[in-house]
Structure 1
Amino acid sequence: MDAVNTSTLTVRPLRDGAALPLLVEAAAGTVPSLIEALPEIREVADRHLLGHGGLLFRGFALDGAAAFQGFAAGFGHPLLTYEFGSTPRSKVTQGVYTSTEYPPHQHIPLHNEQAYTRDWPMKIWFYCQQAAPEGGETPIADSRAIYRDMPEALRDRFADKGLMYVRNYGNGLDVSWQQVFDTESRDVVEAYCRRHGIECEWKQDGELRTRQVCQGAMAHPVTGEMVWFNQAHLFHVSNLEPEVRATLLELVDEPDLPRNVYYGDGSAIEDEALEVVRGVLEAHKVTFPWRSGDVVMLDNMLTAHARAPFKGPRKVIVAMAEAHGLR
């Protein structure tokens, strides 16, 4: 699309010839707050988010986590809590969390938020309060294009069979069930699992195992377009470095791995299939440097996100809204 100018906004692709992300900037010579510009920004999001999948707001003023909370909530849906999370995060304020707290040297592959469950947010925002001096980008990718480029047999197998995610919590190997479910009560955990179609099992050591069969690909509820929507490549044991994988399997049997994933019928997913998946994801990755003050808004089903390794201080916080899922 060509650039669109209004009295306060300029809207254009960040890069020529690339639809993702769409850059929304304050008009030259102005630095309005995102809150002040919200009515016009909502109109831009309504017009363009479903087509492009992601918007980058740049050159606006935004004063901290509370203002970010107000901006994200201003799109009309209550902000969500981070329920049944798979990675460590900390709550910043109501509905706002740190981005995944993995060590800076680690790369987090492309994924759609909470696509390993049957419940997920449709919208997700990232606010870069402090850009890392080196690295630390949040790459993104078009989940529609990823679906189209998956080999047809593999794509159909994931879509038809679905995926069974198996998680074993705690034991110093992964996040504890108390943190994931934000409770010390087994009864609360069991009630949550019943509501969400999760099979749960208390093991002899007192720790928890869960299983849930989820989607491998599905149609977007508004556009009807098929999207690649799962986290098999993250949960599968093949995502581990060979040395780490070997060490873990010396410590625990495969059913007790902190996390793993199978086809929905319980059969093994081939390592080779997931290498193909990772290759397609990598081919569609779009990377751009953060600037402090940037905010990215994604349709979580249409656009996947990742995190690049970084050096130095970095602060990116996250909000999610518009719950959607399968029952």
Structure 2
Amino acid sequence: MAEQDVPALVGTPTPDTVLAAVAEHGAVLLRGGWRHDAYVALGDALMTASPYQGGFHDERDVIGGDPTTTTVTRGTQGMPLHREASYAPGAPDLLMFRCERPAADGGATTLCDGLALLAALPAAVRAACEELTLRWESALPTPVWQRMCGTTDPAAAERMLRQWEPYLRPWESIHIDVDEDAMTVGFGTRCTPPTLFEGVPAFCNSLFISRPQPGEYHDRRLRVRSGTGAPVPEDLVATAADVAARLTVAVPWRSGDVLVVDNSRYLHGRQAFTDAGRAVAVRMGHLRKEVAA
């Protein structure tokens, strides 16, 4: 695995310079001892930051009372490559990480370019990926969905969840089933959705996180199948994982580093570590329209 095979900018580049680098390369590392307040200001200039909800996936801690800035996922396990929140409506456009303190050993953030990954797949597998639709499902036990939605009425809860529908992209869909035990929320999307800046297909999804390697983080609350209801072919995922392993690069953190990632193009993960003092923050959100113009 190569280290830091993403462009690096030093000093204090302007938001326009950072965005141009992300649009061209998909990710950019900002070296130069970024303070927390400068990191937040850069994020606010580039994107409308999303507040952390944590109702279903309570796995992060809010930093400094700001719900748009949190720790990364708790724990020291390795994290499989994935697209942030690809299993739900409203996946962020941009991710911004800042390292307060790197791990003494391991703990690098890993990156894989979904454009390069799709292009490197065998032709038949690539074609299958481009045709494949995914349906992510989360089963919420009745007490959980009632608490999250603030109601005991299934119809009212469904109406609340379907408020996302006007904002769905043309290839996305929402499916909701309720019984006495749980509410199952399904989200339909493509295996290779188009990228934010170029509008071309990329292998940018969370299939690898649904099939982690031994010892890696495993989110057992999510399940995935194809849009037809059939299982996602194991050989397709295995082939893509093998190719991704060859293309993955590691970003060895230094204190004050900031990493900006196009979440529609790049998969990200992390290496395992044992140093509980590792501290990395994350912010995410949607590109500001006036910045994108």
Q: State TM-score, norm by structure 1.
A: 0.73
Q: Structure 2 counterpart of 1:129, which letter?
A: E
1:286 to 227, 242, 249: 249
Q: What is the distance in 1 between the residues matched to 2:19 and 2:213?
A: 40
CA distance in 1, matches of 2:151, 2:22: 40
Q: Where does 1:1-327 land on structure 2 (aligned, <5 Å)?
A: 20-26=5-11, 37=12, 40-62=13-35, 64=36, 66-75=37-46, 77-82=47-52, 86=57, 88-92=59-63, 93-101=66-74, 103-104=75-76, 106-169=77-140, 177=145, 181=148, 183-185=149-151, 189-196=157-164, 197-205=173-181, 207-235=182-210, 238-239=211-212, 258-312=221-275, 313-322=277-286
Rg: which structure is higher? Answer: 1
- Aligned-residue offset at 1:96: 0.9
Distance 1:191 1:118 in 2: 15
Which runs of no fewer than 5 residues in structure 1 stay unpaired?
1-13, 27-36, 246-256
Which position in structure 1 is the counterpart of 2:291? none
Residue-by-residue CA offset, 1:114-150 (whole Å, 9 max, x unaligned): 2223421111100111111111111111111011112
Misfit runs of 4+, over 3 Å = 82-87, 176-179, 183-189, 238-242
Identity %: 22
The 1:193/1:71 distance shift into structure 2, 3 A limit, reads same
Aligned-partner Cα distance in 2 for 1:227–1:126: 22
Structure 2 residue identity aligned to 1:281: A
Relative distance call for 1:61 and 1:295 in structure 2 (3 A) is closer
The residue type equivalent to 2:30 in the other structure is F
The 3-state SS of whatever aligns with 1:88 is coil
**1:165 to 1:46, Cα distance in 2 relative to 1, 3 A:** closer
Q: Do the aligned partners of 1:127 and 1:293 also contact (CA within 8 Å) in 2? A: yes
Displacement of 1:192 after TM fit? 4.0
- Gaps (5+ residues) in structure 2? 165-172, 289-293
Deviation per residue, 1:237-273 (Å, 9 max, x gap): x44759xx9xxxxxxxxxxx73221111101122222
Q: 1:292 to 1:258 in 2, by over 3 A?
A: same
Q: RMSD over aligned Cα, in angstroms?
A: 3.0
Contact 1:25–1:60 (8 Å) recurs in 2: no
State the structure with bigger RCO (CA 8 A, min sep 6), 1 or 2: 2
Q: Which amino acid aligns with 2:174?
A: I
